[in-house]
Structure 1
Amino acid sequence: MTRRMSYDGVAVAVPVTVPYVRYSTHGAHWFIGRALEALVASSGLDKAQIDGLTISSFSLAPDTAVGVTQHMGVSPRWLDHIPTGGASGVMSLRRAARAVQAGDADIVACIGADTNHVESFRQTLGSFSHFARDASYPYGSGGPNSIFAMIMANYMRTYGATREDFGRIAVDQRTNALQNPNALFKKPLTLDEYMSARPISDPVHLFDCVMPCAGAEAFLVMREERARELGLAHVLVRGAIERHNAYADDPIMVRGGWRMDRDELYAQAGARPEDVDFIQTYDDYPVIVMIQFEDLGFCEKGEGPAFVRAHRTTFDGDFPNNTGGGQLSSGQAGAAGGFVGMTEALRQLTGQAGARSVRDARLGLVTGFGMVTYDRCLCTGAVLLGSSQ
């Protein structure tokens, strides 16, 4: 295995969340603008000092990141539009980190934002991809719910997982969300309530699904010395990986690209899975969370059900996961869902997580997962972030 250039000297700072709402008549530009405004206000920077920009959004179309520069009155010397959905947060950081290391940008704003009109989710599904429009919807496929029902049912048959196993993940994340003022869900969830919820696409039931909403997430990437000059609380990038179209020969997804590159991820950081203090998994459905526990080396393939039975994944448990509630209990603001784990990890490692803080956290793992097709997602990524203190 050939080691890639390290991410030494790259800092990530200023986690921003534009509060989520269930529906909005504002467009994606509005949420992007709110995120950029918050980055400037929280960092103390002048807008002109942000000379790099990445944008991830489903509902921004037909505009792209280029149009955003004019609309927001910025003139970056480095720009990227990252259309990888739930993997976009990790991939935005990777690209911004390389731009900073190369000197192509000094300070990069990474923003994920989407709106959610009453009809926009249906429209997004209809225009998600040619494959979705032409090869699945005409045959009655109901979008992601039916796709992940197939993945979940196959996992259950293959490895003996039960709905209770997935329920433990959802219930613990709701417990975390109750300590997160940005989370849309404000009521506790019991395992009995999870089990008795109405079916959506068997075996997927109501609390296996994220709630579409509108909002934005954002952060800044810069050199470590720049963050220190500006007096910004920050974390350091210890390692990062991404992979696309992994294990294409698997008939139905039971593993993701993380498994291919996890050894390199930990080697970059000089760490092992047991050194990780918390994990922020991309969580569009609990089955994907369980697959990541396996693929990232916390247990072997097929041991995910036993793993979740043996561990508490609340922020104060022995294996903290999605400490802000993740998307399952905070909401999924489109492509911003790929940034939720990043902003939560920044808050955990810089002392901004409040009542849901993980005690003595020094090393956090954030994952990304995006662009679903008929039987799998195509994009995976992960980053290890370390405290700078």
Structure 2
Amino acid sequence: MSPRSPYDGVVLAAPHSTAYQRYSTDTAHVWLARALKGTLDAAGLRKDQIDGLSVASFTLFPDSAVGLTQHLGLGLRYLDSIPMGGASGIVGLRRAARAVQAGDASIVACIAGDTNQIDSFRKLLSSFSRFAMDASYPYGYGGPNSMFALLTDAYMDTYGATREDFGRLCVAQRDNALRNPNALMKKPLTMDDYLAARPISDPIALFDCVMPCAGAEAFLVMTEDTAVQQGLPFVRIAGTIERHNAFPDDPIQLRGGWARDVDDLWSMAGLAPIDMDLVQTYDDYPVISMLQFEDLGFCGKGEGPDFLRDKDLTVTGDLPHNTSGGQLSAGQAGAGGGYLGLVEALRQVTGQAGPTQVAGAKHALVSGFGMINYDRGLCSGAAVLTGEAA
């Protein structure tokens, strides 16, 4: 494999999150427009000053990304649509950065989000993929809960993990969410609460599951010179990886695509897991966060529970994790869930995270995971980000 080219001269700036809502009668267009306006306002830019757009959304239908440009009144020379769920943020970042680096765009707005009307989630699941339509949905499988229950059960059986091991992730994230004014979960969560929660799909219970909601996230990709001219705090991209359908022959998913490329990620970044001031994993279910800690080199395969038992995962701890509360406590705004950790990481390493700020944060790891297709997630990615003073 040839060496990966660095992202010299390209930076990320102007992170923005909309306030989430459990349900909304607004369209996805409204939520995405709010996010776009928020990131442009943060940068002091007008919409006619951007010439690129990257969109991730499940509920834009019957519109597409190109239809959205007309709704928003944008004239662009770069347009991308990333239908990869929880991996969309990393994939969108990578592609937008290369477009700016090549001169195919000057400023790219990366936006992601969805609405959540009363029946949105059922409609999404019923036509999510051909696998879902043919092999799962007709039999009343109940959505991703049952799929992740199988993965969680297999992980527990293979490596001896307990529900308490997953509970540590959920309890710490709730503590972080209580600092985040945009998080939907506002009630403290104890380990006893977690263990006593209503069963959903054995061994998964209520607090292992994300809550769908409406919302959107956004950031800008531009040259470092542009960020300096605008007076914007910015983030450099030290390294990234992306992989799809990484291990098709595995009988059940106990590893993700990160495991294929983890050495390339850290080699490109010139850093190591121990150098990270915070970690943002994609957390639709806690078992997936456990896989990311292992596959991204923080510990060996199956060692995640032992590794995390000695760690404080809160904002003030020794391994701050999902500092906004993550999806498990902030909410899952559709495709915006794949941006949540990334946008929070941008705030963190630029010192703009406010009540969730990790003291002295300069290096962050963000990972994404998406598109569970019958029995496994197909898309994965990760990025190492550094603050301008790092």
Compute the TM-score of the two structures, normalised by the length of structure 1: 0.99
CA distance in 1, matches of 2:254, 2:9: 35
**What is the DSSP-based 3-state SS (H/G/I as helix, E as strand, rest coil) of the residue aligned with 1:298?**
coil
Counterpart residue identity of residue 129, structure 1 = S
Please say which of residues 352-361 and 44-53 is displaced more in the overlay. Answer: 352-361
Alignment of 1:52-201 (within 5 A): 52-201=52-201
Say if 2:145 and 2:200, in contact at 8 Å, map to a contact too: yes
Say if 2:14 and 2:40, in contact at 8 Å, map to a contact too: no
Unaligned runs of 5+ in 1: none
CA distance in 1, matches of 2:275, 2:40: 34
CA distance in 2, matches of 1:215, 1:113: 6
CA distance in 1, matches of 2:175, 2:162: 21
Counterpart residue identity of residue 60, structure 1 = L
User: Following TM superposition, by how much is the alpha carbon of 1:107 offset from its aligned partner in structure 2, in angstroms?
Assistant: 0.3
Corresponding residue for residue 242 of structure 1: 242
User: Following TM superposition, by how much is the alpha carbon of 1:355 offset from its aligned partner in structure 2, in angstroms?
Assistant: 2.6
Say if 2:238 and 2:268, in contact at 8 Å, map to a contact too: yes
Alignment of 1:1-389 (within 5 A): 1-389=1-389
User: Following TM superposition, by how much is the alpha carbon of 1:46 offset from its aligned partner in structure 2, in angstroms?
Assistant: 1.6
CA distance in 1, matches of 2:308, 2:206: 20
CA distance in 2, matches of 1:8, 1:261: 21
**What is the DSSP-based 3-state SS (H/G/I as helix, E as strand, rest coil) of the residue aligned with 2:19?**
strand
**What is the DSSP-based 3-state SS (H/G/I as helix, E as strand, rest coil) of the residue aligned with 1:382?**
strand
CA distance in 1, matches of 2:263, 2:59: 36
- Structure 1 runs, 4 residues or longer, greater than 3 Å off: none
Counterpart residue identity of residue 65, structure 1 = A
Please say which of residues 351-360 and 336-345 is displaced more in the overlay. Answer: 351-360
User: Following TM superposition, by how much is the alpha carbon of 1:99 offset from its aligned partner in structure 2, in angstroms?
Assistant: 0.3
CA distance in 1, matches of 2:16, 2:276: 24
CA distance in 1, matches of 2:15, 2:46: 17
Provide, for residues 119-169 of structure 1, a one-character-per-residue CA deviation record: whole Å limited to 9, x for no partner. 111101111111101111222311100000000000000000000000000
Cα RMSD of the aligned pairs, angstroms, is 0.8
**What is the DSSP-based 3-state SS (H/G/I as helix, E as strand, rest coil) of the residue aligned with 1:290?**
helix
**What is the DSSP-based 3-state SS (H/G/I as helix, E as strand, rest coil) of the residue aligned with 1:137?**
helix
**What is the DSSP-based 3-state SS (H/G/I as helix, E as strand, rest coil) of the residue aligned with 2:18?**
strand
CA distance in 2, matches of 1:307, 1:132: 35
Provide, for residues 7-58 of structure 1, a one-character-per-residue CA deviation record: whole Å limited to 9, x for no partner. 1221101111111000000000011111111122211112111100000000
Say if 2:282 and 2:289, in contact at 8 Å, map to a contact too: yes
CA distance in 2, matches of 1:129, 1:259: 25
CA distance in 2, matches of 1:320, 1:295: 18
User: Following TM superposition, by how much is the alpha carbon of 1:356 offset from its aligned partner in structure 2, in angstroms?
Assistant: 2.1
User: Following TM superposition, by how much is the alpha carbon of 1:2 offset from its aligned partner in structure 2, in angstroms?
Assistant: 2.1
Say if 2:294 and 2:303, in contact at 8 Å, map to a contact too: yes
Identity of aligned residues (%): 63
CA distance in 1, matches of 2:76, 2:232: 21
CA distance in 2, matches of 1:69, 1:120: 23
Counterpart residue identity of residue 231, structure 1 = G
CA distance in 2, matches of 1:35, 1:170: 27
CA distance in 2, matches of 1:38, 1:311: 35
Aligned residues: 389
CA distance in 2, matches of 1:269, 1:210: 31
User: Following TM superposition, by how much is the alpha carbon of 1:310 offset from its aligned partner in structure 2, in angstroms?
Assistant: 1.3
Say if 2:125 and 2:137, in contact at 8 Å, map to a contact too: no
CA distance in 2, matches of 1:170, 1:321: 11
Compute the TM-score of the two structures, normalised by the length of structure 2: 0.99
CA distance in 1, matches of 2:378, 2:108: 26
CA distance in 2, matches of 1:45, 1:217: 17
Please say which of residues 9-18 and 143-152 is displaced more in the overlay. Answer: 9-18
CA distance in 1, matches of 2:43, 2:354: 20
Please say which of residues 191-200 and 137-146 is displaced more in the overlay. Answer: 137-146
**What is the DSSP-based 3-state SS (H/G/I as helix, E as strand, rest coil) of the residue aligned with 1:183?**
coil
